[in-house]
Chain A
């Protein structure tokens, strides 16, 4: 659903409004961080991806072709960047060898990102899934995209997306249940 406020923000931003950019950032930064974390399971990577996306967004006000939903547009930008990172050898190596959670306690004041232990556990389980399944789950549940929209984004059929979602959820549930 397209919000009227977003339509106004898009227009004002494209017309050069700094206030509109600030509002867009404030409105969506946390959601986008959640999406990025769900995809990358790394707070540093998630922060980098979201910040890079917003910087690129801020630099290209005039050239952006946002013809639809602002939230979906921003999420798609994050997804594309996250996908690139997830597929890079560097990212894989970092996940496998050197990653340790930067934040696992909401009470720690000096962490860059703040999330609960349950979130950390969920992200760990998500990271066990094949990337395409993880992406479908995060997009459908957190970003509230339809299977049709996800299929378009992933370049596959709706039935493929449905299968990825079903198998991914089954595995995710098994992983989380096994920890209880």
Chain B
């Protein structure tokens, strides 16, 4: 009698069907031949609504997660010129990260006091470029909220997928300035590396993360941060020199333990507005 796990593995492995080369190509041609491209949507600017509603503004909040990114970024910078025998060219990492025109990453957290928090099924995916910030929030594998800011177009879009509601409105100059300031200070992984140079850290052994050989750093220096305890680790691909994983654990002043995991980074992504602006399904209603 096979064990359950072993038997599942057998089924998983044996149930493996592939299209032959000829079938693969023929089906591919049929599928691509059926492709009917979508029409490009009207721009957000043209659709801006005059009605003001309560705008949820996460970019105006100083996110702990962003601080984590910054801390790791700091560590990366601090490695420069330290004489480390690291295989990672840390100076190049800092340059690459800063030069990336767009970056996407996933954030998972625990420890929130939010009663709706359903870790490990909830997470956020953030898309960020100098002009654009978009955050998609997922719960149970389904997107339930989208927040979008375009400081060039001075547009903000908020979408509640679970309620099929949305809001589009113009951003005031003050809001734009606030977003730009926040991006420059904390919430932009490319620029944040320049802001926390004082934290101490040490190097970690190399390890494989999702098949990628990585080199890491760790800091427990909570100087200047509003935490009773703080540990953060950042891992960078030895091959590409870009961050792969960031993980942190903090205990806040209310003795609540929080963990943060940032992964699935995509660097050097073109995040032009037409690629990132959320589409509003036809059955969604304006708030």
Contacts and interface: CB of A to CB of B under 8 A. Distances in A.
Interface in A5-60: 5, 7-8, 11-12, 14-18, 21-22, 25-26, 29-30, 33-34, 36-38, 43, 46-47, 50-51, 54-55, 57-60
B35 A141 contact: no
Contact of A58 (B1, B32, B142): B32
Contacts of B161: 67
Contacts of B11: 122, 137, 141-142, 172
Grouping DSSP codes into helix (H, G, I), strand (E, B) and loop, the A interface class, with mixed when no group exceeds half, is helix
Given A15-B38, A173-B2, A69 B141 contact: yes
Contacts of B276: 11
A3 interface: yes
A147 interface: no
Contacts of B105: 4
B141 to A, nearest CB: 5
A142 B15 contact: yes
Interface stretch (B23-31, B46-54, B175-183, B193-201): B23-31
A79 to B, nearest CB: 15
A62 interface: yes
Interface residues of B, number: 48
Contact of B14 (A51, A57, A118): A118
* Chain A interface size, under 10 / 10 to 19 / 20 to 34 / 35 or more: 35 or more
A177 B1 CA distance: 8
Given A15-B40, A51-B27, A69-B141, A173 B7 contact: yes
16 contacts: A2-B106, A4-B265, A7-B104, A25-B27, A25-B32, A30-B17, A30-B18, A36-B17, A55-B34, A110-B20, A115-B16, A116-B14, A118-B14, A119-B14, A137-B11, A173-B7
Interface of B: 1-2, 4, 7-8, 11-12, 14-20, 22-24, 27-28, 30-32, 34-40, 104-106, 125, 136, 138, 141-143, 161, 264-266, 269, 274-276, 279, 281
